[in-house]
Structure 1
Amino acid sequence: MMTSILAICLWVLLAFVMQLIPSNDHHWRRAYVLIGLGIPLLIWVTWQSGPWIGALGLLIGGMVLRWPLIFLYRWVRRKLGG
């Protein structure tokens, strides 16, 4: 149980370190890498620790990657005609 939670903590630490390094594309490539790493980690922590800890991990991931979620929300709203 603790290894999956430790992996999520390391993922958050990696996200904050990646944020400190300057980028030409406003950190979008790094966001894609974090999403690619975060989805398997989220599945792992949910499988190992249960749905409540998985929901907490999803909330933490959403707080770290808030701009991709905002743009996804805007895109879906635009496609649905809202």
Structure 2
Amino acid sequence: MPTSLILVCLWAIVANVLAMRPSRDNHWRLAYLLIALGIPLLGYVTWQTGPWIGLACLLGAMSMLRWPLVHLLRRLRGQDSQRQG
């Protein structure tokens, strides 16, 4: 198994363990940390194993970090409606 996939599996385990901990800010700081670590890791996976495995890892990370993604999409939609009106 390539090193990059081992690191992605460790990232996923850490993300799940951190999600089980209680948090005062609804895990937003941890989500930002996981995103900051996950982006270069995703590039490494894609470089080492190819785009299809990289896409699978991206979809897996998006499923775990879905709320930051939902809030980003809501923010982008809100800015687009303000520009038109």
Q: TM-score range by the shorter chain?
A: over 0.9
Aligned residue number for residue 62 of structure 2: 62
Aligned residue number for residue 35 of structure 1: 35
Coordinate RMSD, CA, aligned: 1.2
- Alpha-carbon separation, structure 1, partners of 2:32 and 2:14: 13
Identity rate, percent: 52
Aligned residue number for residue 15 of structure 1: 15
TM-score calculated relative to the size of structure 2: 0.92
Q: How many residues align?
A: 82
The structure number with the bigger radius of gyration is 2
Q: Secondary structure at the match of 2:81?
A: coil
Q: Secondary structure at the match of 2:25?
A: coil
Letter of the structure 2 residue corresponding to residue 68 of structure 1? P
TM-score calculated relative to the size of structure 1: 0.96
Letter of the structure 2 residue corresponding to residue 77 of structure 1? R
- Structure 2: state its 5+ residue gaps: none
Q: Secondary structure at the match of 1:23?
A: coil
Letter of the structure 2 residue corresponding to residue 59 of structure 1? L
Following superposition, the deviation at residue 25 of structure 1 comes to 0.3
Aligned residue number for residue 79 of structure 1: 79
- Alpha-carbon separation, structure 2, partners of 1:54 and 1:39: 11
